Structure 1
Amino acid sequence: MPKFAANLTMMFNEVPFLDRFAAAAECGFRAVEYLFPYDQPAEVVAERLQRAGLAQALFNMPPGDWTAGERGMAALPGREADFAQALDMAIDYAKVIGTPLLHMMAGVAPAADQTAIKTYRDNLKRAVDRTGEAGIGLVIEPINGRDMPGYFLNDFERAIDFISDMDASHLKLQFDVYHRQILHGDVIMALRQMAPLIGHIQIASVPDRHEPTTGELDDRRIFAAIDAIGYQGYVGCEYRPADGTLEGLGWMARL
């Protein structure tokens, strides 16, 4: 059975962010992830993580102005300096908190625009170089347009192409089962085929993004497939609890 990491952005919203670490540990989680830690000092986040006895799975690089609709800056022409600053901040936080992985968000930009493609590739190369120097892994994630309209990286094969072009062993694919099913389907075959390039996996039910085992997919078979490909990392529980975090955690006990 995979090792699960609680996503503290979506789960345990019943308590303030810094209290979610202890709440996750009390429910049996041994690792956590979240979208962004940057509203808190890195040292404070690290202390809460250590106090709860949790491992850090990953978090995202700063996305730009999230409230204004920005979802990353890597593919945004003219924002290269902002991207570089965000990359430096993410690495600084990663070193203090001790995360093994950073997720680089692409941003909202036309997927076929050549300037956006070049900007993304150049920024990805910068991120690969900087994270490599810091000894931190880097992942990129295809995201479906229903949840994030206009997102630049919206295709798994395209993500694989970008990864292959970089030829860097620490650059991997973030395989989100929820996004994969909405974008392409064929989840288990994709897990098998992409296994060598998968650096992190996330799970949520489809179509409503609630607890695993509550949607259209046979998540138990997907978990068995994750074990079968030899994946050793954490599976991030990036779902929205349907009726409260604690009320929905029975899915893990039933596995």
Structure 2
Amino acid sequence: MPVPSTLSSCVEWQFTEAGGVEDRIRAARDAGFAKAEFHLWRDKDMGAIAAALQETGVVLTGICVDPRRSIVDPAEHDEMLAAVRETIAATAPLGKPPLIVASGFRVEGMSEEEHFANAVSVLKKAAALAEEAGVLLVLEPLNTKLFSAMYLVSTKLGLDIVEAVDSPALRLLYDVWHSAVMGEDMAEVLRGRTHLVAHVQYADMPDRNEPGTGTLDWGQVVSTLRDLGYDGAIGLEYFPTVPMAESLAITRKALGV
């Protein structure tokens, strides 16, 4: 049964029994997905992945800029921009998917204003590279449960940075699980700013498993995003608790699709 075209399987964690990412993409397509995403690329066979995408017609909705480097520490800015350039080049044969950027860790002794200014400065340069290449960067806020010293753990702050960079090549990735861990109210943090969000990811609380296995009200999540005007891709970035056929059935029931 085809999966709704908005849903994207995170094959980093799903369909792992199929083998490498290229085979997981094929398994995802066999399960009805038309979209997929994964994390880092340097440890993967990019030629094989490109072949699997061409064979299946699956569209990638996200890959991380690799290696991950800080946007708030000026000492890492040259490496961060080099990573953007290299990731743009490496992922071009994969259809120029959106490239995910995390912030890196706070710098001891640096003020909030300096953190923000440093982030905006390097992201303006990164966005210019992406715009020239016809690629979209998506900035992802994480959470302090996983990364206690991470700078960007607030959706509001992430959106403020995107607005300050002011480039069509930079948007926000809104992860429902990270946001819930931080105790955010989805409607409050996204209201009036959904046009700055290019990708959304789903996982249930508290253990980052499939929707329908935890404490989040998925009917409310889905209706809130719809009411706010979001109609883009939804990445199912969760750890399945059961085989993927069962996991997908649980997820579809929870999401009402």
Q: Structures share a fold, TM > 0.5?
A: yes
- Identity rate of aligned residues, in percent? 27
- Give 1:51's match in structure 2, choosing from 55, 60, 64: 55
Partner of 2:20: 16
- 1:41 Cα deviation from its structure 2 partner: 4.5
Give unmatched runs, 5+ long, in structure 2: none
* Contact 1:191/1:225, CA 8 A, preserved across alignment: no
1:4 to 3, 7, 17: 7
Deviations 1:101-154 (A, max 9, x none): 111121122487245444322221111110011111111111101022211111
What corresponds to 1:94 in structure 2?
91
- Please list, as runs of the form range in 1=range in 2, the aligned pairs for 1:104-253 lying within 5 A after superposition: 104-110=101-107, 113-114=110-111, 116-253=115-252
Find out whether 1:63 has 2:63 as its counterpart.
no
TM-score, structure 2 as length reference: 0.88
Alpha-carbon distance change, 25 to 39 in structure 1, aligned in 2, over 3 angstroms: same
TM-score (norm 1): 0.88
Distance 1:49 1:42 in 2: 10
The answer on whether the counterparts of 1:59 and 1:99 sit within 8 Å (CA) in structure 2 is no
Letter of the 1:57 counterpart: T
Q: RMSD value over aligned CA atoms?
A: 2.1
Q: What stretches of structure 1 of length at least 5 have no aligned partner? A: 65-71
Q: Which amino acid aligns with 1:78?
A: A
Which fold has the larger relative contact order, with Cα–Cα distance below 8 Å and residues 6 or more apart in sequence? 1
Give, in whole Å, the separation in 1 of the partners of 2:86 and 2:241: 34
Tell whether the 8 Å contact from 2:8 to 2:36 is kept in structure 1 after alignment: yes
Q: How many aligned positions are there? A: 248
2:36 alignment partner, one of 28, 32, 35:
32
Match of 1:103 in 2: 100
